[in-house]
Amino acid sequence: MPLKNVAQDLVERLFTGVGKPLRVDADEVLTREGELQQRLYYIRSGFVVGTKTRADSGAEDQVMRAGTGDLIGVLSFFGGTERAAMTVTAIVPTDLLYIERDWPMPDDGASIERQLMPAVISELTRRHQIVVELLHAQQEAHERIRQLERTSALGSLAAGVAHELNNAITVIARGTEWLGNALGDKLHIDATMKMIFERGVEHGRGVSSAEVRQRTAELKSKYKLPYADARRLAQTGLDPAQLQPLFPLSESIGRIIEVWEIGATLADMQIAAHQAEHVVASMRDLGGRRGQHNEQVDVNGSIEIALKILRNALKGIAINMNFGELPMLAANRGELVQIWTNLLRNAADALHDAGRSTDAPSPQITITTDARDHEIVVEVADNGPGIPEAIAKRIFEPSFTTKKSGLSFGLGLGLGIVQNLVTEYGGQIELLDSDTTQSPGATFRVTLPLGA
Confidence (pTM): 0.46
Q: Where are the alpha helices (DSSP H) in 236-381?
A: 240-243, 253-284, 299-309, 333-354
d(C-alpha 321, C-alpha 6), whole Å: 36
Domains of the chain in sequence order: 1-106 (2.60.120.10), 110-289 (no CATH), 293-449 (3.30.565.10)
Between these two residues, 37 and 179, which has the higher pLDDT value?
37
Q: How far apart are CA 200 and CA 202, in angstroms?
A: 6
Q: What angle do CA 446, 449, 451 make, to 5 degrees?
A: 150
Q: What φ, ψ does residue 191 adopt, rounded to 5°?
A: -60, -40
Q: Which residues contact 168 (CB under 8 A, 6 or more apart)?
A: 61, 62, 63, 64, 134
pLDDT at 171: 66
Residue range 204-256, pLDDT digits in tens: 776 767 788 888 888 888 878 888 888 888 888 877 777 777 777 656 777 88
Q: Is 412 exposed, middle or buried, given 0-12, 13-18 or 19+ CB atoms closer than 10 A?
A: buried
Q: Which ranges of 355-401 would DSSP assign to H, the alpha helix?
A: 389-392
Q: Looking at per-residue confidence, does 104 or 450 come out higher?
A: 450
Q: Is the Cβ–Cβ distance between 139 and 417 less than 8 Å? A: yes
Are the C-beta atoms of residues 178 and 76 closer than 8 Å to each other? no
SS3 state at 183 = helix
Q: Is the pLDDT of residue 153 over 70?
A: no
Query: Averaged over 108-123, what is the pLDDT?
Result: 66
Mean pLDDT of 87-112: 80
Enumerate the β-bridge partners of residue 52.
61
Least confident of 95-104, 183-192, 278-287, 307-316: 278-287
Residue 90 pLDDT = 93
For residues 247 and 103, is the Cβ–Cβ distance under 8 A?
no
pLDDT value, residue 349? 84
SS3 446: strand
